[in-house]
Structure 1
């Protein structure tokens, strides 16, 4: 399905007559710029911006556009006819700028080939370094560098990467976790280090590396059935093809599915001059951030490795050193900082990072290499950050006047905000125990769960509804689905810029990396730490904010408690947003929670939910009597018994939400569900009704409906049994009147459910008005204001909205049922078929999670227009759970809703989503001007 999507996108590019497939950059010039991410990918666009606009030291290179990727997949993995000539032309440009030649025996040019989608996908696609290094070019490299150890180390790296990334995949081999050619070659490397008694790659002598490279090549041929290519152009085209192929690799597809990145975007390919951070003690490579991505601190932050290539930092195979004092942690504070070891280079890098942040107005992730004291910028991109850091940065950048309030609310994703609402370890419980291990705090919050050692087991545990802690030596892109499924991640190796840290930070996943004291035995499925051996299934608790590991499951707290930045940021959102945000709440406790999260009223108080909670036995018994009554007298008696309980529930809830409005939905119980099933409860009820068990069963059978969701419920109950509507109205108005007498502001809104015709509202409003008049006369309260509206959840009501609005004071869209009835899907039964609809791309999203804007949305849009034409000031809201879904909230903003309403814990997300929708409008208007 994914490949077909890419093919469809390719048809547009194929229709063009003249297409520029390659854009060059370097030497202070560039054919593209930072705004061309769709064509050049994020990496290529930013390389062009750094080189051409900012004149930064960027190694020369060129970008093959995303259009070639779509062509590649549309044409059986072939390229446009002009591409080969274009690549050769642009290689010559690099040769002129570097004064080197690709494939030259005396003065060889080496290049890297990297992917670059328009959205960052760290580690999900392929990279190959040192391309152009062959048996013929090696002597020239040795002559130029004077260091055979460095040259053969670069050669063994090329063999390892190329055989894994290009050759194995070209052979159609899909190795299992922990297998494959790369694992074999890594094992040979490990054996050599063990034999030599060295722990670091840099300590392997040149003569041993020469032998190792020969052994590598022999092993590659034996395992994969073909020889490692010793031709520079063959290496280059193999690498380019591997990057394009990796767009539809298993891990890339999985990551896009998780991150909701479109499958038809494709990736660009960046071919760039190699610069070497592994040429001795005057060279280094590193990854840095213009601010701390873990907590949002505004100091320059990063890590580097002396005598290393970029893959060494990201892979976490050596402990990186801190960039400066702000970057040091418990594991690296004893290591020399770049600020001290290379002060001149550090000062230049610091100036560049300041320039980049001021230019892009955001926190950036920077990759750099230092070759013999010369600084080169390899990449910059908007840096991934966790929720804590995202909120801190947004607030700081507004204060620094780097961004506007509107830009600030767009800097925090709903998922990141959700991280601040994630569980954390109870400080009291944590204070009573000591960590059994410590590592680097790479992901926020706390997590506890059962130990697993591979992705498959993490997924199985997650599917079983249990929490997993994924324990690995180091994660790699193949672990992506297991990392997503796990509650927490713990690795033995890796720094704050390792794969695990980068991915976990982007997801807000609790993660600890670089926990060196772990002793992992994968075959036995055990891990030793703190003097104890833990087996698979044992429980651990992680504090990802501090990097501490605890034995067992510690008590967890609700998140968000006492988070001052969260309060400040949401206050900023409230300044920007236009939509009001209410909550769906059914009890005083729910209402209090909703107030705590910033709700501005209750958009849905389901009155029958008072029968579901604690202390509900007596009112539930009375309700059952009412439902099973066979005469009006029986029913009225039960209704009058129920009245004080209903009034108390309404009164307490309105009081908890004062001074905001509370929308009370009249009863909408599925009658048959309230009939007791236990024999003793049935006998008790029959006795209360004064009937035999035979008659009880006869009455219960009479309530059975073929399709209860479309049966005797909602407004239909009020039409057939008006005494039920009267009792509810009286309970609402008496509760409000008593509160008003006690100087508590009460603003009740009566909502009639399941309307399909305006005449139903006319019928019920007459009863409600009579009860209102009676309560006012009885209580002498003059300031008892109320409104009567309806829930639009039946397509016919949406179609006839003009008529309905003439009788209703407000509309509230019940999108759960509206979706159900529009699609003809029972939301209780979709599990049998909806997953397949999503997998095959028949539907883009679950319509019960994200509002279907094309179908259900069209009905809503029609109802809003018609309703406001009939009554211009008609209040309009949404009370289905779509009210807490960011995409759906944006739709509601666009359609001019008054408010959205969602469950209490989704209120902060809805506040952010409403602010983001308004911010987009403001920024779009500014751009238009």
Structure 2
């Protein structure tokens, strides 16, 4: 088959041996993976790809296949038959017809979300000739009816299981030889007609209809839901791969399976896979049968494992990543049908990335690309409290197929699960097995439990992609979704009863189990983040925004910390004394009030310096004009109005500076003190003189509004150290109140209604971008300007600020790892 099939029309169809394997956007992951395997000498059945150009032409043509595509497919099928030694739609005496699979193939893997049809190419006459050509009667009929089940579901929109049940008597009679295959075909057509559908029995017409249906599956509700959840672009579209069939159900020396080059649950660098003897591939994906565990097998399957392991290592070198392989054994011969980068849990992603770098398969920059910010967040998600777990009652055990721990009420229907989660409930989706139709509930639920299936079934693969805790193959429980109950250990559990699942151990528990912060995975994550730090060359401060974060810093220590005095007062129980002193300014004995403030400042600073692990200490002064002060101080509106100006009351800030200076001298630890609320360079000059009159103190400014940002380059030129409080700057720039800015759902909904052109947390208005760019390019900015990411700073905005040239960032204690990773990745992007 030549590369260009028609000179007068667009080239829609490409032989797998001739396409560009780097052009995933046009040919999709399946076809480009096959091209790589063929080029590497790995055995794969012949195939051709229909590119996304045809998908877009299909949509532009009113969801009809363009005429040029049909002609190119005819040529491609003839060439495919020549490679396979068979002909499509034709079978002479003793000759086997060509059967094909028709598979979707988007650039981004969407496991189980789009459609595939297998065994296309038979009608009654061809099936009869196939049997006459030494094909086992049951095998041929089983293969043909598998096609009809898929064709009915995907092309005709019928229930394939019902079709199979309706024609079961005729199937049994045909296998026994009591009726001919024309009678079986007539029963199928009659059933379809009774449902109001017209079923063609011509394989060539079925091929066109199936290609159209696979293109159309891009727009299915489940595919749309998956893309929305994973942020996959709608306009990508899908390619189609048409491949010669090989049969895992051909005989006793055949079978199908899926293998990973590394364990997708924990990243262990050993082959992990499952195999079903005498079965086709959809059986292992559906979870209808529990397969053989290839990662542990010996004896009869040791040679198969060895061959797969060899091919897996070759493919890891090609991809620079862990891979997922779909394979079939036909009469003892191994074929690889598909390869793609493996879906994996957060724990596995971090370990695989770190190991790939240490093994020399990829450089540190490529290793960082193997992990997402979302995966780091998930790795750090809470786990069962060991104290509570020790007293929990285990009621069942299945196959732990996606690690993680979750508690929730048992819900047996996917749509109902999504509704209950939307209402604020924690949910565990409990199903006999899952299918792509369950995607809405799987995305919403905190965890998934199924009675059937292996570790590579649909439930397991999709849960792993979603990084949801999942247990499959829990055969000791009986699930009745219609009655909304399951039975475990002789006890009946109803919808709404609380259960807990451990997706690593496979254990199911009765009742809820509390979660606590995790401790696992930290070492490997640290290895990876060291590479990220080296690439980004960024300095990361731990910044407090509330008392809880200050307590975290005090408990764990911080090499570089930007701590608010108010935060620490809240964390240490000193806030009442501080408020009392503030309330007495200008109303009581001035000396007593000022000495009280100085002692509070000294005590707080001493605690701060004790918990810091290095001599880089930044402390923010309280800002009495803030919304926070308004909420904390009784009779706030009755305070001396001068207290609401940054330098309006020396009786307030000088005692604080005195106390900080004393603590700094006691600990021999210089402190930089930051003033907030500033709007003019004149305020900076006065504060610089005031602060540096005290020993061991340096002056800095927390930039919290647009006016101060405009003056920031001048302050920097005069020696200031600056922190950009991005939350406050964005509030100032957009004229929002803290309630509107920080309550995510309200603002998110507002933006989604189209009432704002872009989300305030994730974008910069042009005038704001200009001010930030001016500051970033000022002399000394890289060393003396930090960006406080705050509570609502979007990661996209963080990347943009790094791209501008900022290299010092402040993050809350729980976000440090994510920010380190993102900055390392951004450094790679900017190389």
Report how many residues are paired: 817
Q: Distance in 2 between matches of 1:479 and 1:566?
A: 33
Verify the 8 A CA contact 2:550 2:571 in the aligned structure 1. no
Tell me what 2:606 maps to: 651
Could you tell which deviates more after superposition, 790-799 or 895-904?
790-799
Q: Distance in 2 between matches of 1:40 and 1:634?
A: 80
Q: Distance in 2 between matches of 1:853 and 1:536?
A: 47
Tell me what 2:36 maps to: 49
Verify the 8 A CA contact 1:113 1:271 in the aligned structure 2. yes
Q: Distance in 2 between matches of 1:73 and 1:756?
A: 56
**Match among 232, 253, 257 for residue 261 of structure 1:** 232
Query: Secondary structure of 2:646's partner?
Result: helix
Tell me what 2:824 maps to: 915
Cα gap change, 1:280 to 1:824, in 2 (>3 Å): farther
Q: Distance in 1 between matches of 2:588 and 2:83?
A: 97
Verify the 8 A CA contact 2:114 2:223 in the aligned structure 1. yes
Tell me what 2:81 maps to: 95
Verify the 8 A CA contact 1:580 1:600 in the aligned structure 2. no
Q: Distance in 2 between matches of 1:346 and 1:883?
A: 49
Verify the 8 A CA contact 2:70 2:208 in the aligned structure 1. no
Map 1:119-518 onto structure 2 (within 5 A). 119-168=108-157, 181-182=159-160, 184-185=162-163, 188=166, 215-223=187-195, 225-323=196-294, 327-328=295-296, 337=297, 340-341=299-300, 344-518=303-477
Q: Distance in 1 between matches of 2:8 and 2:775?
A: 45
Could you tell which deviates more after superposition, 72-81 or 893-902?
72-81
Verify the 8 A CA contact 1:288 1:367 in the aligned structure 2. yes
Tell me what 2:69 maps to: 83
Map 1:718-757 onto structure 2 (within 5 A). 718-740=646-668, 746-757=669-680
Q: Distance in 2 between matches of 1:157 and 1:841?
A: 51
Q: Distance in 2 between matches of 1:206 and 1:367?
A: 35
Residues 147-196 of structure 1 deviation map (CA, whole Å, 9 limit, x = unaligned): 2212222222222212221222xxxxxxxxxxx6245346658x879x99
Verify the 8 A CA contact 2:12 2:69 in the aligned structure 1. yes
Distance apart, 1:476 and its partner CA? 1.7
Residues 110-158 of structure 1 deviation map (CA, whole Å, 9 limit, x = unaligned): 2111111111110111111122222342223323352221222222222
Q: Distance in 2 between matches of 1:597 and 1:75?
A: 63
Cα gap change, 1:126 to 1:787, in 2 (>3 Å): farther
Verify the 8 A CA contact 1:153 1:209 in the aligned structure 2. no
Tell me what 1:331 maps to: none
1:23 aligns with 2:4: no
Verify the 8 A CA contact 2:550 2:568 in the aligned structure 1. no
Verify the 8 A CA contact 1:801 1:863 in the aligned structure 2. no
CA root-mean-square deviation:
3.4
1:852 aligns with 2:763: yes
- 5+ residue gaps, structure 1: 1-15, 169-179, 197-202, 329-336, 683-695, 704-711, 741-745, 777-783, 925-929
1:615 aligns with 2:543: no
Query: Secondary structure of 2:375's partner?
Result: helix
Q: Distance in 2 between matches of 1:730 and 1:221?
A: 91
Residues 227-253 of structure 1 deviation map (CA, whole Å, 9 limit, x = unaligned): 222122221121111222121221112
**Match among 729, 749, 755 for residue 835 of structure 1:** 749
Residues 771-808 of structure 1 deviation map (CA, whole Å, 9 limit, x = unaligned): x2xxx3xxxxxxx2x43332333234334443232245
Verify the 8 A CA contact 2:676 2:702 in the aligned structure 1. yes
Distance apart, 1:472 and its partner CA? 0.9
Tell me what 2:787 maps to: 878
Q: Distance in 2 between matches of 1:739 and 1:208?
A: 96
Cα gap change, 1:58 to 1:589, in 2 (>3 Å): same
Residues 11-45 of structure 1 deviation map (CA, whole Å, 9 limit, x = unaligned): xxxxx9974322212xxxx1123311122111111
Q: Distance in 2 between matches of 1:559 and 1:31?
A: 49
Q: Distance in 2 between matches of 1:208 and 1:657?
A: 85
1:541 aligns with 2:519: no
Cα gap change, 1:736 to 1:78, in 2 (>3 Å): farther
Verify the 8 A CA contact 1:586 1:610 in the aligned structure 2. no
Verify the 8 A CA contact 2:343 2:461 in the aligned structure 1. yes
Verify the 8 A CA contact 2:782 2:808 in the aligned structure 1. no
Tell me what 1:9 maps to: none
Tell me what 1:582 maps to: 541
Q: Distance in 2 between matches of 1:186 and 1:788?
A: 79
Tell me what 1:687 maps to: none
Distance apart, 1:477 and its partner CA? 1.7
Query: Secondary structure of 1:130's partner?
Result: strand
Distance apart, 1:501 and its partner CA? 1.1
Tell me what 2:704 maps to: 793
Verify the 8 A CA contact 2:602 2:663 in the aligned structure 1. yes
Query: Secondary structure of 2:730's partner?
Result: helix
Cα gap change, 1:859 to 1:188, in 2 (>3 Å): farther
Distance apart, 1:319 and its partner CA? 0.6
Verify the 8 A CA contact 1:24 1:61 in the aligned structure 2. yes
Could you tell which deviates more after superposition, 585-594 or 857-866?
585-594
Cα gap change, 1:322 to 1:872, in 2 (>3 Å): closer
Q: Distance in 1 between matches of 2:239 and 2:251?
A: 32
1:666 aligns with 2:633: no
Distance apart, 1:763 and its partner CA? 3.2
Query: Secondary structure of 2:83's partner?
Result: helix
Q: Distance in 2 between matches of 1:209 and 1:910?
A: 68
Cα gap change, 1:42 to 1:660, in 2 (>3 Å): farther
Could you tell which deviates more after superposition, 396-405 or 209-218?
209-218
- 5+ residue gaps, structure 2: 1-6
Verify the 8 A CA contact 2:623 2:629 in the aligned structure 1. no
**Match among 668, 681, 684 for residue 761 of structure 1:** 684
Distance apart, 1:321 and its partner CA? 0.9
Distance apart, 1:639 and its partner CA? 5.5
Query: Secondary structure of 2:500's partner?
Result: strand
Q: Distance in 1 between matches of 2:676 and 2:65?
A: 59
Distance apart, 1:840 and its partner CA? 6.1
Residues 801-828 of structure 1 deviation map (CA, whole Å, 9 limit, x = unaligned): 4323224522322221222333444452
